[in-house]
């Protein structure tokens, strides 16, 4: 296996999105006089994931995630909310209280110059670039691909076709690996694109999605060690 380029997911792979998510939804709950609890935060995560899954499947748009996830969650609590207000509060935490995944900056420093590095994310272009900039990561990437500008999202093959059209013309797909924590977005997307896949499974989860994976690692340090031994 010869790897020349790496496509790297952002949320959950480089930035600890889960911590920001808990802070954000807790702030929204407090705004609507709901007492935050770990159980409620965990349930919001599940609700949020269900909307992202629909987005990955092409069933809803990115805007419809915001329009639907907050009323769905708070509706179960009998609380009426304004999705725009919720999103403003939520994004203030997601975009400004950034926590890098352990070893993320060290990994980027060690890989830059040795590999072509591409960020690959589902989300809003300006916001994702701004988050990478604030986290001190943006300079390590050769390019950044975000679903808002590609016109499609992971795991759709079209997302990756867009990316490859903007990579060096001599780069072959079997020379590219995607690193990410998402089974149905990153790993399935890698399969659809015909590139190598590496699942960052930091929590020791079980692959219940039935997605083929070339490599599984439990930390970014382990991923770097894997590359060194190729």
**Helices assigned H by DSSP within the chain:** 17-31, 38-56, 62-75, 83-96, 104-111, 125-134, 147-150, 157-164, 188-193, 220-228
- Up-side HSE of residue 129: CA atoms within 13 Å toward CB? 11
Burial of 151 (0-12, 13-18, 19+ CB in 10 A): exposed
Tell me phi and psi for residue 180, to 5 degrees. Answer: -165, 165
The catalytically annotated residue of 9, 11, 181, 186 is 9
User: Is 170 assigned a catalytic role?
Assistant: no
Residues assigned a catalytic role: 9
């Amino acid at each position: 296996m010869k790897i020349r380029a790496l496509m790297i997911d952002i949320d959950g792979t480089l930035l600890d999105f889960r911590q920001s998510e808990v802070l954000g939804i807790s702030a929204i709950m407090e705004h609507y006089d709901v007492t935050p609890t770990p159980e409620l935060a965990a349930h919001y995560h599940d609700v949020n994931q269900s909307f992202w899954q629909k987005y990955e499947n092409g069933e809803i748009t990115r805007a419809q995630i915001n329009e639907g996830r907050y009323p769905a969650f708070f509706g179960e609590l009998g609380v009426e909310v304004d999705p725009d207000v919720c999103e403003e509060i939520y994004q203030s935490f997601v975009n400004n209280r950034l926590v890098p995944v352990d070893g993320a900056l060290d990994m980027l420093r060690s890989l830059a110059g040795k590999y072509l590095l591409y960020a690959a994310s589902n989300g809003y272009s300006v916001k994702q670039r701004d988050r990478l900039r604030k986290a001190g990561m943006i300079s390590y990437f050769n390019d950044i691909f975000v679903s808002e500008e590609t016109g499609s999202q992971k795991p759709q093959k079209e997302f990756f076709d867009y990316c490859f059209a903007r990579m060096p013309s001599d780069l072959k797909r079997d020379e590219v690996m995607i690193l990410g924590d998402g089974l149905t977005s990153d790993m399935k997307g890698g399969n659809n694109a015909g590139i190598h896949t590496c699942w960052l499974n930091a929590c020791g989860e079980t692959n219940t999605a039935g997605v083929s994976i070339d490599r599984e690692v439990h930390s970014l340090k382990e991923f770097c060690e894997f590359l060194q031994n190729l």
